[in-house]
């Protein structure tokens, strides 16, 4: 049986010291190579035997949009004003929770300008990580086209490659034209993407990317879409969300079928991978690079941020798609309910009965029924 140390490199999932010790020391690199260990599989069975995937494929063909022409790129974005408006709209006086006592912390001496700067950096960081994650999705779905043995899944995955290229394109353009700086990939996110790409079992690419990374992205995009007062970002996210919902549905539909064939040892390996992915993604949301940039002690800052009630809600909401989808796949309770215990430890089990994305994607479609004006 694998221990926490084997799976995530530390015994205590909340060991802050160990989490913060993982940093990106390669910030000036312009490329990063990962060895993919999986076989490319041809299938000679062209029969369309998976109608649910076929339906998703048809939907994807009709829901394409053009990143350059379908979004109002001429919208003026004053980032500092947006940061202030967003904070006001959320009812907070500061960017961080106003109820927090910052006495004796690195934030004690911060002026309003420091808080606004922090808000801008935080946004630069968040959108940069979305950008890198989208590139991860682009590479993973190209890999799925090669490795999945079913023709209906190859067809669908090909449409997702196009979707992900468009997502990389919109986030790169938004960062370049509307925000004030880029961040390199967060080390926890990179570790996870490397593990997903390097695994030689085709379904692990699905579990890591389609269920875990995309499930988290879908929740995060939804949250920011709701909160942001900036109309261009709002619309951009709305479009991206309708694509992402299909992507997660693709994962759920495919793995539901495939997991029927697996024995309990193989299912346990999937549970462990889901736990690893969940932990890495939670770790990355501590935004350690932003505090570094702001020149405050990272550990003290992270500790304080972790106490903010708003923050805790946001962090856990990120798992609101992942947990029900894992439940639908049978991963939560398989064996002795090992993953249920891990998700309880991570504080996210409360989402288990929320709607799963196998059904939700049609409701989230923004393009199919309402083409861009
Ligand atoms: Fe995407
Ligand atoms: Fe996606």
Q: Whose atoms come closest to the Cα of 140: which ligand?
A: 2
pLDDT reported for residue 366: 63
Distance 161 CA to ligand 2 centre (A): 9
Total residues belonging to the chain = 373
Percent pLDDT > 70 in the chain is: 94
* Mean pLDDT calculated for residue range 82-102: 72
Distance 167 CA to ligand 2 centre (A): 8
Distance 136 CA to ligand 1 centre (A): 9
Q: Whose atoms come closest to the Cα of 245: which ligand?
A: 2
Distance 108 CA to ligand 2 centre (A): 40
Distance 205 CA to ligand 1 centre (A): 15
Sign of CA pseudo-dihedral 45, 48, 53, 57: positive
Distance 303 CA to ligand 2 centre (A): 31
Within 148-262, where are the H helices? 151-178, 187-198, 202-205, 214-227, 231-259
Cα within 13 Å of Cα(345), Cβ side? 16
Residues less than 5 Å from ion ligand 1, measured at CB: 134, 137, 164, 167
pLDDT reported for residue 373: 31
Average pLDDT, the chain: 90
pLDDT reported for residue 135: 98
146: its two tokens: 């090669």
Q: Whose atoms come closest to the Cα of 141: which ligand?
A: 2
pLDDT in tens, 280-302: 888 888 889 999 999 999 998 88
Distance 134 CA to ligand 2 centre (A): 7
CB 274 within 8 A of CB 339: yes
* Mean pLDDT calculated for residue range 249-269: 95
Distance 88 CA to ligand 1 centre (A): 29
Distance 241 CA to ligand 1 centre (A): 8
Please determine, for residue 66, whether its predicted confidence score (pLDDT) is greater than 80: yes
Distance 167 CA to ligand 1 centre (A): 5
DSSP H or E run through 313: helix 309-317
pLDDT in tens, 10-26: 988 888 888 888 888 88
Distance 84 CA to ligand 2 centre (A): 30
| Cα dihedral value 230, 232, 234, 237, nearest 10 | -140
User: Whole-model pTM?
Assistant: 0.93
The DSSP letter of residue 41 is -
Question: pLDDT-based confidence at 29, cuts 50/70/90?
Answer: confident
For residue 367, CA distances in Å to 64, 148, 176, 214, 371 come to: 7, 27, 25, 19, 5
Distance 191 CA to ligand 1 centre (A): 19
pLDDT reported for residue 70: 96
Q: Whose atoms come closest to the Cα of 135: which ligand?
A: 1
Question: pLDDT-based confidence at 359, cuts 50/70/90?
Answer: low
Please determine, for residue 368, whether its predicted confidence score (pLDDT) is greater than 80: no
Percent pLDDT > 90 in the chain is: 65
Angle in degrees, 0-180, between the axes of helices 298-307 and 309-317, rounded to the nearest 10: 80
CB 82 within 8 A of CB 228: yes
Distance 110 CA to ligand 2 centre (A): 38
| CA geometry: angle 39, 42, 44, nearest 5 deg | 150
pLDDT reported for residue 97: 60
CB 225 within 8 A of CB 67: no
pLDDT in tens, 149-167: 999 999 999 999 999 999 9
Please determine, for residue 96, whether its predicted confidence score (pLDDT) is greater than 60: no
Distance 319 CA to ligand 2 centre (A): 16
pLDDT reported for residue 258: 96
Distance 118 CA to ligand 1 centre (A): 26
């Amino acid at each position: 049986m694998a221990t926490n140390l084997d799976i995530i490199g530390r015994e205590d999932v909340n060991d802050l010291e160990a989490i913060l010790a993982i940093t990106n020391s390669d910030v000036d690199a312009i490329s990063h190579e990962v060895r993919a260990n999986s076989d490319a599989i041809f299938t000679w069975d062209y029969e369309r035997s998976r109608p649910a995937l076929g339906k998703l494929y048809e939907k994807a063909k009709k829901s394409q949009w053009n990143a350059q022409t379908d979004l109002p790129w001429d919208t003026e974005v004053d980032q500092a004003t947006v940061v202030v408006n967003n904070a006001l709209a959320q009812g907070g006086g500061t960017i961080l929770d106003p109820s927090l006592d910052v006495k004796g912390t690195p934030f004690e001496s911060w002026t309003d300008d420091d808080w606004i700067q922090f808000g801008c950096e935080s946004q630069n960081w968040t959108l940069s990580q979305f950008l890198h994650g989208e590139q991860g999705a682009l590479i993973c779905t190209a890999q799925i086209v090669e490795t999945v043995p079913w023709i209906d899944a190859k067809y669908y995955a090909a449409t997702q490659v196009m979707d992900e290229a468009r997502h990389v394109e919109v986030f790169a353009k938004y960062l370049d034209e509307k925000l004030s700086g880029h961040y390199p990939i967060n080390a926890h996110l990179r570790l996870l993407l490397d593990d997903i790409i390097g695994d030689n079992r085709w379904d692990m690419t699905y579990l890591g990317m389609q269920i875990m990374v995309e499930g988290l992205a879908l929740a995060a995009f939804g949250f920011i879409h709701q909160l942001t007062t900036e109309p261009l970002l709002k619309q951009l996210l709305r479009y991206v969300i309708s694509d992402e919902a299909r992507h997660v549905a693709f994962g759920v539909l495919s793995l539901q079928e495939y997991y029927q064939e697996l024995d309990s040892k193989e299912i346990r390996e999937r549970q462990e991978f889901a736990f690893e992915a969940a932990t890495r993604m939670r770790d990355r949301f501590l935004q350690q690079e932003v505090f570094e940039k702001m020149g405050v002690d990272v550990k003290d800052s992270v500790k304080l941020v972790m106490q903010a009630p708003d923050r805790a809600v946001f962090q856990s909401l990120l798992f609101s798609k992942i947990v029900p989808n894992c439940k639908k796949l049978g991963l939560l309770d398989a064996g002795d309910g090992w993953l249920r215990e891990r998700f309880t430890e991570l504080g996210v089990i409360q989402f288990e009965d929320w709607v799963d994305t196998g059904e939700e994607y049609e409701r989230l479609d923004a393009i199919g029924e309402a083409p861009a004006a």
